[in-house]
Amino acid sequence: MLIIEWSLASGWKKPYIKPLENLSLHPASSSLHYAIELFEGMKAYRGVDGKIRLFRPTLNMDRMARSARRATLPPSLGVKKPTKALLYVIMSPVGPYFASGSFNPISLWADPKYVRAWKGGTGDCKLGGNYGSSIYAQQEALELGCQQVLWLYGEDHQITEVGTMNLFLYWINEDGEDELATPPLDGIILPGVTRQSILDLARNWGEFKVSERYITMSDLTAALEENRVKEMFGAGTACIVCPISKILYKGKHLHIPTMENGPQLTSRFLNKLSDIQYGREDSDWAVLVS
Ligand SMILES: *Cc1c(COP(=O)(O)O)cnc(C)c1O
């Protein structure tokens, strides 16, 4: 096997040839070449009582099974169905994300020239290829002074997801109703466990309209002009919820008044979910690890 190593410090090194070792991941593995690969992201929480809890782990397992079905398609384009697989579980400690209880709102870059997922694609599965192809756009967002990408879709610039989080908009909708909205699971949205939990909580509270509906950039800009936007936030296991304060779109900086509005609802979700995760509140969503 010919090997050429690269590092930022010294660039490309001298090539060398050596026999192929008995590596656990073969260099010709289809996971490296065709991204026949999937992953899951799940946390274990050490509670206030010292006990360890998982949060709705069966939802992660169901999603993993769906990703696996999508990743191991029958032979096509000369790519054979895998005959072997490896499952790694990387266990690394992470502290509570918002230990200080303070939110840091993020700024987003929205440009339809890159798309994260498309109809008929794999955007609704946690497959590696979805993420590798999104890094270039993330880099451009950083260069433009934004922290993450707001992924748009279609001619009407539908708002889909933010970075690797689902997106929620809490606003007064076109009909004057208080509404919590998130895009529907139409194949281009990753069905997040956090997304599902936020919808379940809000529907259970029954205090405002809860919708899985399309939201376009023009819906958002109209609502901003008419002061109808209350809060906008991303949702995912890593941060639970993440307030959004700014969107760069068509060369203009749109200010999202999430922080000025508390953020009341965003904080309420954070508190409710972390109370369950850290065992401050009993819930069948928390599964004790013995
Ligand atoms: C993992 C992920 C999410 C969030 O899912 P959770 O189960 O809530 O962590 C949202 N969007 C994308 C693209 C993701 O990869």
Domain membership flag for residue 169: yes
Protein residue whose Cα sits closest to atom 12 of ligand 1: 164
**Residue 286 beta carbon below 6 angstroms from any ligand 1 atom:** no
Contact predicate 273/96, CB 8 Å: no
Domain membership flag for residue 239: yes
Tokens coding 175:
């009909």
Name residue, tokens 């993420």.
131
pLDDT of residue 95: 55
Q: Residue 243 maps to which CATH number?
A: 3.20.10.10
Protein residue whose Cα sits closest to atom 10 of ligand 1: 165
CA of 3 to the centre of ligand 1 (A): 35
Domain membership flag for residue 22: no
Ligand 1: which of 60, 118, 138, 164 to mutate, most ligand atoms within 8 Å of CB?
164
d(CA 119, CA 92): 34
Domain membership flag for residue 138: yes
**Residue 272 beta carbon below 6 angstroms from any ligand 1 atom:** no
d(CA 52, CA 49): 9
Protein residue whose Cα sits closest to atom 15 of ligand 1: 164
Ligand 1: which of 237, 269, 270 to mutate, most ligand atoms within 8 Å of CB?
237
Paired strand residues for 234: 167, 242
pLDDT of residue 102: 60
Please give the number of the atom of ligand 1 that sits closest to the Cα of 42: 9
Question: Radius of gyration over alpha carbons of the chain, in Å?
Answer: 21
Residue 37: which of 69, 74, 71, 63 has the closest Cα? 71
Surface-to-core class of residue 241, CB atoms within 10 Å of its CB (0-12 exposed, 13-18 middle, 19+ buried): buried
Amino acid at 256: I
Domain membership flag for residue 7: no
**Residue 182 beta carbon below 6 angstroms from any ligand 1 atom:** no
Q: Which residues of the chain have pLDDT under 50?
A: 73-77, 97-101
Please give the number of the atom of ligand 1 that sits closest to the Cα of 126: 15
State which residues form the domain around 191: 106-277
Amino acid at 184: P
pLDDT of residue 43: 92
**Residue 71 beta carbon below 6 angstroms from any ligand 1 atom:** no
d(CA 139, CA 14): 29
Residue 66: which of 151, 193, 241 has the closest Cα? 193
Number of domains in the chain: 1
Contact predicate 182/166, CB 8 Å: yes
Domain membership flag for residue 288: no
Regarding beta strands 209-212 and 178-182, do their DSSP bridges make them parallel or antiparallel, or are they unpaired?
parallel
Domain membership flag for residue 168: yes
Count, in order, helices (H) and strands (E) of the chain.
7, 16
**Residue 199 beta carbon below 6 angstroms from any ligand 1 atom:** no
Protein residue whose Cα sits closest to atom 13 of ligand 1: 164
pLDDT of residue 74: 42
Ligand 1: which of 138, 190, 195, 269 to mutate, most ligand atoms within 8 Å of CB?
190
Domain membership flag for residue 9: no
CA-CA-CA-CA dihedral for 269, 272, 273, 278, to nearest 10: 150
